[in-house]
Structure 1
Amino acid sequence: MRTRPVLVYDGDCRFCTTSVTLLERLLRPDCSITPWQFADLAALGATRSQAEYEALWITPNGTVHGGAQAAARLLLRAGKGWAVLGALLTLPPFRWLAHGVYRIIANNRDRLPGGTAACALPAGRR
């Protein structure tokens, strides 16, 4: 059984990889971080379609949080002042706002710094 949560992200997307690397260095969260392309998603209790759609935070007991809530859980796990921000992102109306911002970024990541044309393609065509 896992004792630490796992953050799963799109390793084919340079924007996502750069973001995760920056967050890992800045926050130093106590979790495992892996691209979904190298993760045993079934063992983690997640599906490929979930991982293609958004970043995932998977707790040791198998609860899956996606998108902005995955980011909130990462911040909570980072502790210090980050945990306050993470807690706010779990509460309405901040939760709703965070979801909207996450979807805008995720849907346009190919246009963001570090994004590539591959980010705009479905995973099966990358």
Structure 2
Amino acid sequence: MTGNTIVYDGDCGMCTTAAAFIERRMRVDARITAWQRTDLAALGTTPERAAYELLWVDRRGRTYGGAQAVAKILLAAGPPWSLLGLVMRVPPFRWPAHWVYRLVAANRHRLPGGTPACSLPADRRGPVG
């Protein structure tokens, strides 16, 4: 493992927009890649997990998913983002962060930027364009 990696769903317009925002505005020291274009086994994860949630894989190979991945990204982005990331990592705030993340993830196909592919299981999607 040479660096941090952010793994997102390349089939989802909302996820792709969020990844582009992280790359342009937050300048996080991480490789940002769609799970469909990544050797997930080399990162120590599976397509099922990557399709289920955003992932942050750190330099040591530890994987964080969902709201905790978002918190790691915010922490890595530095001020002012890191304050929100810090709050998201500690109880009791991490519990509602998880709940909100799961709510958004489960309904991303209904949200602005979401695509119909977001609602399909990973094994029923076509290749990323």
Aligned to 1:106: 105
Supply the distance in 2 between the matched residues of 1:115 and 1:6 (Cα, whole angstroms).
23
> TM-score normalised to the size of structure 1?
0.95
Matched, 1:7 2:6: yes
Aligned to 1:31: 30
Matched, 1:75 2:74: yes
Supply the distance in 2 between the matched residues of 1:121 and 1:80 (Cα, whole angstroms).
36
Supply the distance in 2 between the matched residues of 1:24 and 1:104 (Cα, whole angstroms).
24
Kindly state the Cα deviation for residue 52 of structure 1 after the two structures are TM-superposed: 0.8
Aligned to 1:44: 43
Matched-pair contact (CA < 8 Å) for 2:7–2:54:
yes
Structure 2 portions without partners, runs of 5+: none
Matched, 1:58 2:60: no
Supply the distance in 2 between the matched residues of 1:59 and 1:46 (Cα, whole angstroms).
12
Kindly state the Cα deviation for residue 106 of structure 1 after the two structures are TM-superposed: 0.3
Kindly state the Cα deviation for residue 48 of structure 1 after the two structures are TM-superposed: 1.1
Task: Summarize deviations over 1:68-124 as a string: whole Å, max 9, x none.
Answer: 000000000001111111111000111001100000000000000011111101011
Aligned to 1:120: 119
Q: How many residues align?
A: 125
Aligned to 2:93: 94
Structure 1 residue ranges, 4+ long, deviating more than 4 angstroms after superposition: none
Q: Say which SS state the counterpart of residue 80 (structure 1) adopts.
A: coil
Structure 1 portions without partners, runs of 5+: none
Supply the distance in 2 between the matched residues of 1:44 and 1:13 (Cα, whole angstroms).
21
Output the aligned Cα RMSD.
Answer: 0.9
Kindly state the Cα deviation for residue 23 of structure 1 after the two structures are TM-superposed: 2.5
Amino acid at match of 2:70: A
> TM-score normalised to the size of structure 2?
0.93
Supply the distance in 1 between the matched residues of 2:117 and 2:49 (Cα, whole angstroms).
18
